[in-house]
Amino acid sequence: MQVKLIGFTRGTDFEDPERLVEFAGRVCHRSEEKMGNDSQREFIAKLKQWGHLSPLEHISATFFIRGISRACSHQLVRHRLASYSQQSQRYVDESSFEYVTPPSVNGKEKEKIFRETMEIIKDQYGRLVAAGVPQEDARYLLPNACSTAIVVTMNARELRHFFQLRLHPSAQWEIREMAKTMLSLVKERAPSLFEDIYAKYLGDHPA
């Protein structure tokens, strides 16, 4: 799995995304004149305390994610307040697809069953395409384990919601691992916005 932060909001007037959040929040209170050199941290803490999170929607993060399963991406795209661009199984030849093996598939016998099944699917997919079946129809054979790539953009408010759901111990293992890396990346860029969630879920176990 590869998770890369490829974009993070930088404004013309506020290159620091936390300053942009502070400005948006202060406009609501008509207190822009109170902005100081290091006032954003304290003010963002107040916004979170008040539950006033709409100012966080003015900044966003864009990730390039590769090597996750289609099962994982299906969970990811359920988060509707986001933008997605995903590798197509309609136009991309998947005759040699890579796949994700769950950790529970361990031991020689289970690994053998899983691997052999993936190879059978690859072979049958290739046979269908060779027989003239369009890739968009042959893909009906492809498994949830099939590896994919996706670009996703979320605003900071939606990211906080995403992390709270997908870092919970009950979340599925693959999307939880992905969320851990995503959180570590955005915390470096905007610590005031994410350090509380990081402390709650990753403080003792950083990604």
Catalytic residue IDs: 166
Q: Which helix (H) or strand (E) holds 148?
A: strand 147-155
DSSP code per residue over 44-104 = HHHHHHHT--GGGGG-EEEEEEEEEEHHHHHHHTT--SEEEEE--TTTS--TT--BPPPTT
Give the residues across from 147 on adjacent strands: 69
Phi-psi region of 153 (alpha: psi -120 to 50; beta: other; left: phi over 0): beta
* Tokens standing for residue 192: 């005031």
